[in-house]
Structure 1
């Protein structure tokens, strides 16, 4: 049986699956074990996956895609651990869409971009 999403928003479907794993048995679920380890366990994994993305950036495209998927997955686990989901990140990206990165950064820091 293939449990892969076949239509719709894969992020929303993954959010739902990750939410269910919050109450799963950590001995039976990798994701539940991450939740059980708390933010430190999750962020340690994100650090590891981030380094793997950087390394994969110098290799073939398939490996890079694989590592970015791992990183995004673990970031989504972190969001879920905080009661958030990918829709919150999508909303933030939508808010920034069409805004210069320099302007957006200055608005967040409250400062002039020349100083950033």
Structure 2
């Protein structure tokens, strides 16, 4: 695996997904990802919730450095959940690309018509 710090930004999410995949089966005593994986989906989801809350608090406190740090933690933990559900960051990027250029109102209406959850 290449050094993620040397990975171009446009490939960073894919590189992180690869690292997460490698570490999921590692020794939980030596890998945070493996430890979280061993604890199960509920533990992973709890971490996403915790990191989201910390990001919200940093934004409310107008602490730009803390906000960036907490968002990095949040993104990382959401990548762990994606991989636990056999999804890839490219799936999310594809969805964002699909929505690009749509107004939020139009996009939400399209989900309602399609029978998707619209309470987001």
8 Å contact 2:54–2:70 — kept in the other structure?
yes
SS in 2 for 1:26: coil
Q: Corresponding residue for 1:27?
A: 29
8 Å contact 1:26–1:33 — kept in the other structure?
yes
Q: Corresponding residue for 1:76?
A: 79
Separation (CA, whole Å) in 2 of partners of 1:42 and 1:95: 27
* Residues matched between the structures, number: 110
Separation (CA, whole Å) in 2 of partners of 1:110 and 1:27: 47
Separation (CA, whole Å) in 2 of partners of 1:16 and 1:5: 13
Match of residue 67, structure 2, among 49, 64, 67: 64
Q: Normalized against structure 1, the TM-score is what?
A: 0.89
Alignment of 1:92-103 (within 5 A): 92-103=95-106
Following superposition, which runs of at least 4 residues in structure 1 exceed 3 angstroms of deviation? none
Match of residue 51, structure 2, among 46, 49, 52: 49
8 Å contact 2:4–2:16 — kept in the other structure?
no
Shift of 1:4: 4.1
Separation (CA, whole Å) in 1 of partners of 2:27 and 2:6: 27
Separation (CA, whole Å) in 2 of partners of 1:61 and 1:104: 30
Q: Unaligned regions of 5+ residues in structure 2, if any?
A: none
Q: Corresponding residue for 1:89?
A: 92
Q: Unaligned regions of 5+ residues in structure 1, if any?
A: none
Shift of 1:5: 2.2
8 Å contact 1:56–1:63 — kept in the other structure?
yes
Shift of 1:59: 2.7
Q: Normalized against structure 2, the TM-score is what?
A: 0.86
